Structure 1
């Protein structure tokens, strides 16, 4: 039996408004400035880290709960760092002045490769990791103080990205959780920049409203892509990269200037432009 490619309901809406794939201009591919190319590289790197760290926290929590039965009385929080292909998850104790690891899990290429319950002689976490922990707390409080639109009654997921350079900010993401494995939330995600001094700065949303898309195709179809418009940036963001990795399909993004982008994991490619 042949399977029909399935685009999301947003794709159908685009088609109804005249922005169907057939309305895309033929090559040449739309121009991308040097500034935009750097933004694309940053989005790809951050999106891949977001996904790797979020997956490590998810699967590592299951592993920790199985090996550390009294975890709820010992664990004060967690942090993930390292490269996207080999992140390390550390659950730490309730010593706020000098936290120590109580459980450590290592991942490679999305798979758990080792884990251990930390012993009583474990050294305190490094200053770099303590800075990540402090950044999460500062960002969470700053977002609460500002007030923000929630797109789920569930607790938001948090991911902290280490600074790209010693004087660069730490980016703390507060993400709307998936209500189920077949729904991809695009709205209700926030990024808070925490400076080297530990003070939260820019708080930015990635959408103006709550948006969630089904990744489950109708019966007899297979998912080919998700399609969404994005008005806040000239190019796709790390949230589009993250969502593509979560959904395991490309995300087609139409930006406000009419350019169409294919986001396949960390790869972001301009593929056309909507004809007016």
Structure 2
């Protein structure tokens, strides 16, 4: 969300077109928000180009020209991790464009990179085609690649409506015995519940809350 807000601000400040020389972006956590740092130069030697700070309410600040183009080692590694994951996505590509999220791995020294299938169609929810990568600390090596769905699946958001009420979308999970973080992400992004069948259980994902709703599990 921070990257999307910052991109809108950047395009608005540059006449609707990406600035010349732009090669990508990274997101740097701050005390009260996130700094989206747009990069220029070569993929193998990126430099800081422009910054947009997104506050805790997801409001974008002004577009700032970066005075010091040199990136820190962590910033270089984060951008490298994104590119390393993108090159290893494999044959199952479920979307023309993928959004990337790069975070430090809380259980290791490297990076977690998610490549999330995206769409520009308002009523389409890309339920399938998402990936999680474990990348080395320098951003150069794929240590583990995880496919978060069994295949591509675009769902019609209108299927979540019944009798004028929001009921939710229903999906099957074949790669895990329970909902994954991608189902939480999709529920939050689309503001609707997702019911996931995994094994012999049924789960409800309502935003950040996951609970089992298998009939035998109800009290």
Aligned length: 214
In the alignment, structure 1 residue 106 sits paired with structure 2 residue 53: yes
In structure 2, what is the equivalent of residue 159 of structure 1? 101
> What is the distance in 2 between the residues matched to 1:73 and 1:179?
24
Find out whether 1:185 has 2:132 as its counterpart: no
For 1:134-165, what per-residue CA distance to the aligned partner results, in whole angstroms no more than 9, with x for missing partners? 1111111222xxx321223x222222223326
**Higher RCO, 1 or 2 (CA under 8 Å, sep at least 6)?**
1
Distance 1:71 1:180 in 2: 22
Residue 241 of structure 1 is matched in structure 2 by 184
Structure 2 residues without counterparts, runs of 5 or longer: none
Alignment check: 8 A CA contact 1:104 1:116 kept: yes
Distance 1:232 1:156 in 2: 20
| Alpha-carbon distance in structure 2 between the residues aligned to 1:270 and 1:219 | 22
Cα-to-partner distance string for 1:176-219 (whole Å, 9 max, x where unaligned): 21241211111111112102253112111111121111222558
Note the alpha carbon deviations across 1:59-92, whole angstroms, 9 max, x for none: 2111101223574313121012327983321101
Corresponding residue to 2:2 among 35, 47, 56? 56
What is the alpha-carbon root mean square deviation over aligned residues? 2.6
Structure 1 length normalisation: TM-score?
Answer: 0.69
Q: Which has the higher helix share?
A: 1
Contact 2:6–2:60, Cα closer than 8 Å, also in 1: no
Aligned residues of 1:98 and 1:125 also touching (Cα < 8 A)? no
Alignment partner of 1:173 out of 114, 139, 145: 114
| Structure whose CA Rg is larger | 1
Q: TM-score, normalising length from structure 2?
A: 0.85
Unaligned runs of 5+ in 1: 1-54
Counterparts of 2:149 and 2:48, CA distance in 1: 36
